[in-house]
Amino acid sequence: MGLFGLGKKKKKPARSCDLEGSLLEFGEGYLLTSAEIIKSKRFWDNKMVEPETLAYSKAHFERNDEMGTKMRTMIFQKYSSQDRPWLVGDGQVNQFEVDKDKAREYAQQWWNSEFKFMPPNAGPADSIMDDTEYQEWREYAIMKAGEEQLRKIG
């Protein structure tokens, strides 16, 4: 090994928050499962009125538009069907009713395992959750999420 290779530290990887893209340095964030992600009214109410999804929600609520509802269904599928865990940052974790200490610990294990660690109950939400609970959250996300916010913004 040449002289110039000595003392060089290998740069630790960084990753983006899976929900909003902010950069997380090695060891930061919280690791959540798809089931934990979809069990949040706050998350769905925010998600369904973001600029990227607002038109679908307006079409769904104001015109009972089939395509708007179909797009909301696809958005739900994106979050409910992921088999790998979700890495989320400080700005997003408060939308979820989770044990933050445990989720932070899982994130540490995930970083240290070079992204191989899987927390308990990782996997698609429909294979982890009881069917009744899954269907209730699916119904909320697709049919109701964001309705109050849309009324307020007109």
- With tokens 């209730």, the residue in question is 136
Return d(Cα 48, Cα 50) in angstroms, integer. Answer: 6
pTM: 0.89
d(C-alpha 82, C-alpha 66), whole Å:
25
CB 84 within 8 A of CB 37: no
Report, as an integer, the average pLDDT of 77-103: 97
Q: How far lies 96's CA from each of 30, 57, 121, in Å?
A: 11, 22, 16
How many angstroms separate the CA atoms of 15 and 28, rounded?
9
Comparison of pLDDT for 13 and 11, the residue scoring more:
13
Please count the other Cβ atoms lying within 10 Å of the Cβ belonging to residue 101: 9
User: For residue 152, what pLDDT is reported?
Assistant: 86
| Residue 94 in this model has a pLDDT that exceeds 70 | yes
What is the arithmetic mean of pLDDT over 23-35?
97
* Average pLDDT estimate for 28-40: 98
Average pLDDT over residues 67-78: 97
Provide the mean pLDDT of the chain: 93
Residue type, 12: K
pLDDT at position 138 is 98
Rg for the chain, CA atoms, rounded: 19
In angstroms, rounded to a whole number, what is the distance separating the alpha carbons of residues 87 and 29? 6
**Strand pairing report for 23-24 and 15-16:** antiparallel
Confidence band, pLDDT 50/70/90 cuts, at residue 12:
confident
Domain regions of the chain by residue span: 29-153
